[in-house]
C-alpha cells in the first residue's frame, strides 16, 4: 500500500466513552482543514465503559477511522506504541483522546513539519484544570529528568507531538518494554522543535494517572535514560568513608587524652546502624529497579496483545514490513498476534 494517507493520528483510549465522539469530530475538523488525506487510529486499551462499541460504530461510518483493540489494559505508552506500529502516514501525530491536547493545534504542528522539522512536540505553556499538586509535581519531574538524563528531553512536553515517518521507523525498532516515548523520540535525533499550546481541562471523566502510576512512570523515565541513580552511590560512599576516618581519629584522640568513657554509649551506635541500614536498603532498591527492568527486557514478551481490529485488514504492521528485509526478526514479527477483524471494512 504505497498510497497511504499523509497523516496518521494515533490516540490511546482507556474508558473515554464521553470524549470519543467530540474528539473524533475535532480531529476531523482539524485534519480536513489541511486538505490532505489522513487516518485516525484509536487504540482501545482495555476499556470497560463501552468505548470500544462507540469507536466501532464511528469506524463503520468513516473509512478513515481505524481501531486496534487490546486484549486487556496494557497502559498508555504501550497503546501509543501499537498505534505507531500500524500507522502508515508520512507524518504521525500522537494525541490524547480526552481533548486535553486540543486537535486544533495539529495544523500548527504540521506547519513546522512542512518547514522541515522531523519532530514537532507541543509544549505546555499553561495547564488548565489540574490541581496545584499535579502541576507542581509535573514541573519538578520534567526538570529532574532534564537534569539527570543524558538526552535532551524538552521541558513541559507530553506525548502530544508530530513525528516524521523516518522517526517513527526508528521508534518501531525500539522494542523496550518500559517505554518513555517522549524521551525515545528525543533520543532519535534529527531536527526537532516545539510549538506552545495551552493544555486544556479534561472534557469528560477522570485522569487515569493516579499518583501510584505517575511514580512508576517516573521510575521508567529515569531508568530508561539515566544511570545517575546508580552513580550517586559512589559519592555517598566517599562521604561516609571520609567521615568514618575523621570520626575514628577524633575518638582515638579523645580517648587517649580524656579517658575511656568517651563515646561509650550504645544510643549513637544504634542510630548510626539504623541510618546506614536505611541507606543500604535504599540503594538495594535502586539496584533492584534496574535489575527488574533488565529481567523484564530479557524475557522479551510481546509488548501487547491485540484482540480485534477494524479498518486494518491486510495492513501489515511496521514490524512485519520491516521483518521482511531484516533477518532474525522473527520475534519482532510475533509481537502482533493475528488480529481478528471486528468490523468489516471494504478494501482497507
Ligand atoms: N490511557 C490509556 N491507558 C491507560 C491510561 C490512559 O490508553 O492505562 C489514555 C487515556 O484514555 C487518554 C491518555 O491515555 O487518552 C492520557 O491519559 P490521562 O488523560 O488519564 O492522563 P493525564 O492527561 O491525566 O496525564
Ligand atoms: Mg488527560
pLDDT tens-digit readout, 212-240: 888 898 899 999 999 999 998 899 889 98
Task: Give the mean model confidence (pLDDT) for residues 262-283.
Answer: 84
pLDDT digits (tens, 9 = 90+) for 277-309: 998 999 999 999 999 999 999 998 999 999 999
Kindly give the number of the ligand 1 atom that is closest to the alpha carbon of 207. Answer: 20
Cβ(339) – ligand 1 distance below 6 Å: no
Cβ(73) – ligand 1 distance below 6 Å: yes
Residues with CB under 5 A from ligand 2 (ion): 96, 98, 100
Question: How far apart, in whole angstroms, are the C-alpha atoms of residue 262 and residue 24?
Answer: 76
How high does pLDDT run on average in the chain? 86
Q: How confident is the model at residue 242 (pLDDT cuts 50, 70, 90)?
A: very high
The rounded Å distance from CA 208 to ligand 1 centre is 5
Q: How confident is the model at residue 330 (pLDDT cuts 50, 70, 90)?
A: very low
Cβ(70) – ligand 1 distance below 6 Å: no
Q: pLDDT exceeding 70 applies to what percent of the chain?
A: 89
Cβ(97) – ligand 1 distance below 6 Å: yes
Cβ(156) – ligand 1 distance below 6 Å: no
Cell numbers found for residue 269: 551506635
> Does residue 2 register a pLDDT over 70?
no
The pairing of beta strand 306-310 with beta strand 91-94? unpaired
The rounded Å distance from CA 13 to ligand 1 centre is 7
Q: How confident is the model at residue 20 (pLDDT cuts 50, 70, 90)?
A: very high
Ligand number nearest CA of 19 is: 1
| Ligand 1 pocket test target in 76, 199, 206, 215 with most atoms within 8 Å of CB | 76
Q: What is the pLDDT of residue 263?
A: 65
Cβ(316) – ligand 1 distance below 6 Å: no
E strand residue ranges, 79-118 = 91-94
Question: How far apart, in whole angstroms, are the C-alpha atoms of residue 119 and residue 192?
Answer: 5
Q: What is the pLDDT of residue 40?
A: 98
> Does residue 22 register a pLDDT over 80?
yes
> Does residue 274 register a pLDDT over 80?
yes
Cβ(204)–Cβ(98) below 8 Å: yes
* The CATH classification of domain 7-210+300-337, taken from the options 3.90.550.10, 3.40.50.300, 3.30.70.260, 3.90.1170.50: 3.90.550.10
Give every CB contact of residue 126 below 8 A, 6+ residues apart in sequence: 198, 199
Question: Burial level of 4, CB count in 10 A (0-12/13-18/19+)?
Answer: middle
> Does residue 316 register a pLDDT over 90?
no
Cβ(16) – ligand 1 distance below 6 Å: yes
pTM of the full predicted structure?
0.84
DSSP SS3 for 220: helix
Residue (of 247, 228, 250) closest to 239 by Cα position? 247
Q: What is the pLDDT of residue 329?
A: 30
Q: Where are the domains of the chain?
A: 7-210+300-337, 228-298
Q: How confident is the model at residue 38 (pLDDT cuts 50, 70, 90)?
A: very high
Q: How far is CA 311 from CA 184, 204, 294, 345, in A?
A: 28, 27, 36, 5
Cβ(12) – ligand 1 distance below 6 Å: yes
Cβ(209) – ligand 1 distance below 6 Å: yes
> Does residue 336 register a pLDDT over 80?
no
Kindly give the number of the ligand 1 atom that is closest to the alpha carbon of 43. Answer: 7
Q: What is the pLDDT of residue 344?
A: 42
Amino acid at each position: 500500500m504505497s498510497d497511504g494517507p499523509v497523516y496518521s493520528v494515533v490516540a490511546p483510549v482507556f474508558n473515554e466513552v464521553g470524549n470519543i465522539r467530540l474528539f473524533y469530530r475535532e480531529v476531523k475538523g482539524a485534519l480536513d482543514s489541511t486538505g490532505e488525506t489522513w487516518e485516525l487510529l484509536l487504540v482501545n486499551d482495555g476499556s470497560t465503559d463501552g468505548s470500544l462499541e462507540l469507536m466501532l460504530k464511528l469506524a463503520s461510518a468513516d473509512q478513515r477511522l481505524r481501531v486496534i483493540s487490546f486484549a486487556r489494559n496494557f497502559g498508555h505508552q504501550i497503546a501509543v506504541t501499537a498505534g505507531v506500529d500500524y500507522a502508515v502516514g508520512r507524518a504521525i501525530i500522537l494525541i490524547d483522546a480526552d481533548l486535553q491536547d486540543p486537535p486544533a493545534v495539529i495544523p500548527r504542528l504540521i506547519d513546522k513539519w512542512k518547514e522541515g522539522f522531523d519532530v514537532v512536540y507541543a509544549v505546555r505553556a499553561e495547564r488548565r484544570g489540574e490541581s496545584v499538586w499535579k502541576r507542581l509535581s509535573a514541573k519538578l519531574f520534567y526538570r529532574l529528568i532534564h537534569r539527570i538524563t543524558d538526552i535532551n528531553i524538552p521541558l513541559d512536553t507530553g506525548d502530544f507531538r508530530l513525528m516524521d515517518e523516518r522517526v517513527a521507523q526508528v521508534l518501531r525498532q525500539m522494542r523496550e518494554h518500559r517505554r518513555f516515548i517522549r524521551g525515545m523520540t528525543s533520543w532519535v535525533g534529527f531536527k526537532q522543535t516545539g510549538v506552545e499550546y495551552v493544555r486544556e481541562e479534561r472534557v469528560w471523566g477522570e485522569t487515569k494517572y493516579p499518583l501510584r502510576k505517575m511514580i512508576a512512570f517516573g521510575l521508567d523515565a529515569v531508568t530508561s535514560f539515566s544511570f545517575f541513580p546508580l552513580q550517586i552511590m559512589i559519592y555517598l560512599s566517599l562521604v561516609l568513608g571520609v567521615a568514618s576516618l575523621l570520626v575514628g581519629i577524633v575518638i582515638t584522640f579523645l580517648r587517649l587524652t580524656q579517658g575511656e568513657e568517651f563515646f561509650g554509649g550504645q544510643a549513637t551506635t544504634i542510630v548510626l546502624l539504623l541510618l546506614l541500614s536505611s541507606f543500604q536498603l535504599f540503594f538495594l532498591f535502586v539496584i533492584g529497579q534496574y535489575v527488574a527492568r533488565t529481567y523484564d527486557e530479557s524475557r522479551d514478551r510481546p509488548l501487547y496483545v491485540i484482540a480485534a481490529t477494524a479498518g486494518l485488514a491486510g495492513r501489515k504492521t511496521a514490524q512485519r514490513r520491516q521483518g521482511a528485509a531484516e533477518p532474525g526478526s522473527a520475534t519482532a514479527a510475533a509481537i502482533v498476534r493475528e488480529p481478528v477483524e471486528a468490523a468489516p471494512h471494504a478494501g482497507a
